[in-house]
Each structure stands twice: as C-alpha cells, then as structure tokens.
Amino acid sequence: MAAAGTRGAMVVGDEGDLKATFRQVYGRLKSELFEDAAFDYTDEARQWIDRMLDYNVPGGKLNRGISVIDSYKLLKEGTQLSNEEVFLGCALGWCIEWLQAYFLVLDDIMDNSHTRRGQLCWFRVPKVGLIAVNDGILLRNHIPQILKRHFKGKPYYVDLLDLFNEVEFQTASGQMLDLITTHEGEKDLSKYTMTVYNRIVQYKTAYYSFYLPVACALLLAGENLDNFVDVKNILVEMGTYFQVQDDYLDCFGDPEVIGKIGTDIEDFKCSWLVVQALERANESQIKFLLDNYGKSDPTSVAKVKSIYRDLDLQNVFSEYERTSYERLISAIEALPSKAVQDVLKSFLHKIYKRQK
C-alpha cells in the first residue's frame, strides 16, 4: 500500500481487489496506533492490543467499511482515484469498522451473549472477562487517533469528528431504548408497537450502518452534509428495511444460508414479526403469544411460529418489501444528483430480496 500523499492513480478494480486493498490498510492503521506519542506501549500492552484488535475489528463482512470507498468512487463519477484518495476512503471505512467493534464488544456483555461471528464473544475468552469493557473504550478512542493522524488539516476534519460523535450518541441512545424496552424479568409485550420498533431500529442500526458510510464519502468528496438531509432520511428508511429483513430471516430464513440459528423468539426481542402479529392477532392468539413468546423450549417457539403462519406474516413481509422498494426508488430518483442516486441505488440493490 502506497503512503498517503503519493500521487498517481491506484486502480481498484473488482470487489476482490478492493477488499484486499481495504485489508492492507487495516495493518497500516493498527501499526500506527502503536506509534502514537500519547501512550508509551510496553511489550505486554502491545501484545494485548494487537490480539484484541485482530479478534474484534476485521472479522466481519466489512460491508460498512468497504461501502465508504464504493460510495466515494461513485461520487467521483468515473474519475480514477489517486493512491491518497483510496487510502483515505479505506481509513474512514476502518473507522466505521472500529466503531462497530466497540459497539459489539460492549453489546455482547450487556446481552450476556456467547458467540459472535462464529467465535467466542471477546469477554468470554479466557483471561479477558470484564477487561473487555475497557477494551471497548479503547476501540472507541482509537477512532479520533486515526482521524487526527490522517485528516487533521483537511477542511472537513471537524465535520468528521462531529459526524462520528453524533452517530455514536444516536446508536448508544438506540441501544438504551432497546434495553429499557426489553428488560429482563419484565416481559411486557404491550410495549412492542411499530412506533417503538421504528425508533429503536432507526437509532440503534440505521444511522451507523447506512447513513455513516455515505456521509463519510460525501465529506471526502467535499460536500456539505447540511445539503443532504433527504439523503439521510432515505438511508435511515433503508436501514429500517434492512433490519426488518433481518428479523424476518431470523425466523423464516435458512440457517445454512444465513449462517446462524435465529433466537429472536426465545430472546423476547422486539422483532418486526411480533409487532406485526400483535397488531393482527385476535384475543386467543394474543394469549398464545403472551404465554409462549420469550420461552426457550422448542414447543413454545413452534407455537409462536405457527401463529406467524396463521397470520400470513410471510406474505405481509413480501408486501412490505415490495412497497418499501418502490417508495425508496421513487425517493432516490427525485434527488437532484445522478451520482448520489447511484450511491443509494447501489446500497438498495445489495440488500433487496437478500437471503442472508
């Protein structure tokens, strides 16, 4: 990977090339953290952070991070990106992946989860335990270190800091809404309404997963985010649609395809499916849901799924998917910039009718 500041064009062709380039940048950013003058690393501290980062940051699908550089390329409308532009796009993408790692490390502790991305949750790893809380804080603090090293002096540096701070606040507030709505020991389905569901999803998922990557690309392209409120609204709606798909696949998806066995019913999740069921169910079906939702025995789970089928929720979802897609496409096509339209359509086409 050429150093930032190198002129000339870096050809980033197919998706495989882009992913390889993106992964290379991770190694560079990680090694630079150890050079930061703010902390004098001992060998033991360096080994801990090195292992912690490799365990938590690069292990996912990397969709959020890579979509920064994808979006930036589209905004540049066919102009070849220089080495520096590719590097900066990748660096911002990795800042989002660092943010995601921070959320997930702490989220797994709050949810008392066991596995994440096919391996033990970080706090479950021997000799880690609640040191993971501090590791989460460190992950969050690496982001301004990366931004300072590579973006200080850019005209949009303060906007980047504000963006990451605001999106982190929105996501943490969404997590708070989720936690206080689904309190352990207070299994109260009456709280589960579409208004509550939409608020949780909007704040907990949509801002950081959908708006943040595009906002980073817009800032890189020299744009003012105040001029893109319509784009933010479309991306938040797209993020909600994405979460509805997740909830649907958790129950009706093929575990072989989605890579996990869904447990939303057992976990008493405020899922789109249970909210839809509560809106449509008769009294006896509601009693059935109250008696069986949130229980881990297979019989109870099967009863809840049978109510979902009786209420025809698979067709309700298909209709939701169709109307969401049509509404999103018409909103995207009303935007003035063709390049911005292309960015949003590329996001939508990646998720429309996905099976995992």
Which two tokens mark 356? 């995992």
Residues of the chain with CATH 1.10.600.10: 19-153, 160-355
pLDDT score of 14: 56
pLDDT score of 184: 61
Task: Compare 274 and 260 and report the one with higher pLDDT.
Answer: 274
Q: Pick the closest to residue 144 from 223, 29, 46, 23 (CA basis).
A: 29
**Model pLDDT for residues 233-264, shown as the tens digit of each residue:** 999 999 999 999 999 999 998 877 766 778 89
How far apart, in whole angstroms, are the C-alpha atoms of residue 134 and residue 144? 17
Which two tokens mark 279? 């809106």
User: Residues, the chain, total?
Assistant: 356
How far apart, in whole angstroms, are the C-alpha atoms of residue 78 and residue 339? 10
How far apart, in whole angstroms, are the C-alpha atoms of residue 33 and residue 46? 10
Are 306 and 289 spatial neighbours (Cβ–Cβ below 8 Å)? Answer: no
Are 89 and 74 spatial neighbours (Cβ–Cβ below 8 Å)? Answer: no
Which two tokens mark 302? 């099967």
Q: What is the mean pLDDT of residues 317-334?
A: 97
pLDDT score of 77: 84
CB-count burial class (<10 Å; 0-12, 13-18, 19+) for 328:
buried
Looking at domain 19-153, its CATH superfamily turns out to be Farnesyl Diphosphate Synthase (1.10.600.10)
Q: What DSSP character marks residue 276?
A: H
Q: What is the DSSP string of 314-354?
A: HHHHHHHHHHHHHHHHHHHHTSS-HHHHHHHHHHHHHHTT-
Task: pLDDT band for 21, please (50, 70, 90 cuts).
Answer: very high
Q: CA dist 233 to 61, 92, 237, 332, Å?
A: 25, 22, 6, 10
Are 257 and 179 spatial neighbours (Cβ–Cβ below 8 Å)? Answer: no
**Model pLDDT for residues 23-44, shown as the tens digit of each residue:** 999 999 999 999 999 999 999 9
Q: What is the CATH number of domain 160-355?
A: 1.10.600.10
Task: pLDDT band for 91, please (50, 70, 90 cuts).
Answer: very high
Q: What is the DSSP string of 64-130?
A: HHHHHHHHHHHHTTTPPPBHHHHHHHHHHHHHHHHHHHHHHHHHHHHHT--EETTEE-GGGSTTTTT
Q: What is the mean pLDDT of residues 300-327?
A: 96
pLDDT score of 347: 93
Q: What is the DSSP string of 155-169?
A: TTHHHHHHHHHHHHH
Whether pLDDT at 55 is above 60: yes
How far apart, in whole angstroms, are the C-alpha atoms of residue 31 and residue 348? 35
**Model pLDDT for residues 337-352, shown as the tens digit of each residue:** 999 999 999 999 999 9
How far apart, in whole angstroms, are the C-alpha atoms of residue 209 and residue 64? 6
Q: What is the mean pLDDT of residues 261-275?
A: 91
Task: pLDDT band for 1, please (50, 70, 90 cuts).
Answer: very low
Whether pLDDT at 13 is above 90: no
Proportion of the chain above pLDDT 90, given as a percent: 81
Q: What is the mean pLDDT of residues 40-69?
A: 95
Q: What DSSP character marks residue 221?
A: T
51's CB contacts (< 8 A; 6+ apart) are none
